[in-house]
Chains A and B, each alone.
Chain A
Amino acid sequence: MLTIDAKNVDFYYSDFHALKNINLEVEQNKVVAFIGPSGCGKSTFLRILNRMNDLIPGTRLTGSVLVEGQDIYAPGIHVDELRKKVGMVFQKPNPFPKSIFENVAYGLRVNGVNDKTFIEERVVESIKAAALWDEVKDKLKKSAFALSGGQQQRLCIARALAISPKVLLMDEPASALDPISTAKIEELIYELKKDYTIVIVTHNMQQASRVSDKTAYFYLGELIEYDETTKIFTNPQHISTQNYITGRFG
C-alpha cells in the first residue's frame, strides 16, 4: 500500500525551478532516505510532504502529492489536519521551554484533547516508542532543556509520535548529535518503521544505507535514481549516483 504518491511535482522558489518533474512513491512502513549534494532539492521535497513551504513567499507547486490517497494540495485541505498525519523532526532538537511531560503532551493539548488519563497514557507510550523512557521516567516534570542533545532529539520524536501520525519526516535528525546519540536515533528509526512510514533527509550516506529500505538520489532538482537501498549502495544504475555515493563528487 502506498502512503505517499508524488506525481509530476515541479516546485519553484519565485523564478528558481527547484524541483523538476518528481515522481516518487513510498510504501507503508518503509524508511526512505533522500540523499544528494546541498541544493539538490531533497529538503525542499521533504517539506512539500507536509506543506512546510507554504509560508515561503513566491513558492509554487504543480503536480500532485497524495498522502494515504488524499491530495494534500487539493483545495479545502486543512494544513493542521495534514500535520497530524505527517509529523516532522528537524535537524536541531527544538524542545519547548516546558517539562519533558508537557513537551510530549503539547500536540495532544493543542488538538483539543483534555482527557487527563488518555494524555498520560499517550505521553508514556510515545516516550517509550522513542526509546527514551528508561532515561526520563523519574524526571518527567523536569525541564526538557536539562536533557542531552540526543535525548532532546528523541523527545522531539516522542512529541511527533504523540499525535499518532502515519508518516514521520526527518530532516537530518542526527546531524547535530554525537556518534552514540546518532546510533540511538538510527536504531529508533529501524524500530519505528514497524508502526510508521518514515522519510529521512540525510547528508550522511552511511546513515542512509544503515536505516533505509529505499534511497532516492536527488541532483540539481531532479530525482536521478530511486531504488532499493541495497541496490543503490551495491549497484547504482546511474553514474551520477555512483560518483556521489563513492565520494568522487558532491
Chain B
Amino acid sequence: MRHLEQELVTLRQDIIDMWKLVISQVANSGEAILSFDKELATKVSMREKKVDAYELKIDSECENIIALHQPVAVDLRFVLAVLKINSNLERIADFAYGISRVLITYPSVILDAEIIVDTKLNEMIGQVNKMLSQGLEAFENEKSDMATAIFSEDYIVDEINVNATRIIADYIQKNPDRAFECLHMIAAIRKLERIGDHCSNIAEEIFFYLDAKVLKHSPKK
C-alpha cells in the first residue's frame, strides 16, 4: 500500500470512529431530554471532550496530508470532504451537548408529555439520528444516492421545527406558568433543526467526494 494510501486509510477510520461517537451523542441527548435522564445527560457532557479531541486529530491529519502528500483528484476531494464533515460533526456534537446540558443546569425542568407529542419532538430526534446514520452508511459504502436521500429527510425536520413554534406559542398562552420549560424545549428543537442542516451539509460533502459535483446552495428537490 502506498504511503499516501496508508494515511488516507487512517483518516477514513478516524472520521468513521468520530461519526459513530457523534451518533451516540445525539441519540443519548435525545433520550435524555425525552426521559429527563440526568445521568445520561451527564454522560453526553463527559464525552463531548472526546469529540473535540477527534476534531483536532482529524484537522491535523488533513493538514499534514495536504502539506506532505499533495493529494489530487478523488484523494483531494476525499481529504477536503473529511475536513468539512469533521467540522459539521463537531458542531452536531456541540448541539447534542447543548440539548442535554439543560437537564444538568436546570434539573427541575420536566417537559409536559402532551407538548412532546404535539410538537413531534420524539419524531424529530429519530429523524436526525436517521439522517446522521444514513450519512455514515453513504460515506462508508461510497453510495452518493444514499447521501442525497438525506436532503428530503431534512425537509421533514424543517417542517416539524416550523410547526413546533406555533404549537408551543399556543401552549404558552394556555399554560403561562410553563413558559420556562417551553423556552428550553424550543431551544432544543432549534438545535435539532440545526443538526438536520449539518447532516445536509455532510451529504453535500459526500456527494462532492464521490461524484465531484457541488450541490451547495442549489435546490435539492
Contact = CB atoms under 8 A, between A and B. Distances in A.
A210 B5 CA distance: 12
A59 to B, nearest CB: 35
Interface in A216-242: 229-230, 233-234
B83 to A, nearest CB: 14
A209 B67 contact: yes
B61 to A, nearest CB: 10
Contacts of B64: 230, 234
Nearest to B63: A234
B108 interface: no
Interface in A30-88: none
B69 interface: yes
B3 A190 contact: yes
A209 B67 CA distance: 8
Dominant secondary structure at the A interface: helix
A210 B67 contact: no
Contact of A187 (B2, B67, B68, B69): B2
A71 B146 CA distance: 64
B173 interface: no
A233 B2 contact: no
Contacts of A229: 68
Nearest to B6: A190
Nearest to B70: A206
Contacts of B4: 210
Contacts of A234: 63-64, 67
Interface in B49-74: 63-64, 67-70
Nearest to A208: B68
A187 B3 contact: yes
B8 to A, nearest CB: 13
A195 B42 CA distance: 49
Contact of A230 (B2, B3, B67, B70): B67
A112 to B, nearest CB: 38
Contacts of A187: 2-3
B3 A233 contact: no
Contacts of A183: 2
A230 B63 CA distance: 9
B3 A209 contact: no
A202 to B, nearest CB: 14
A186 B3 CA distance: 9
Given A187-B3, A190-B3, A210-B3, A233 B67 contact: yes
19 contacts: A183-B2, A187-B2, A187-B3, A209-B67, A209-B68, A209-B69, A209-B70, A210-B3, A210-B4, A210-B68, A210-B69, A210-B70, A229-B68, A230-B68, A233-B67, A233-B68, A234-B63, A234-B64, A234-B67
Interface of A: 183, 186-187, 190, 206, 209-211, 229-230, 233-234
Given A210-B3, A233-B68, A234-B67, 18 more contacts: A183-B2, A186-B3, A187-B3, A206-B70, A209-B69, A209-B70, A210-B4, A210-B68, A210-B69, A210-B70, A211-B3, A229-B68, A230-B64, A230-B67, A230-B68, A233-B67, A234-B63, A234-B64
Interface of B: 2-4, 63-64, 67-70
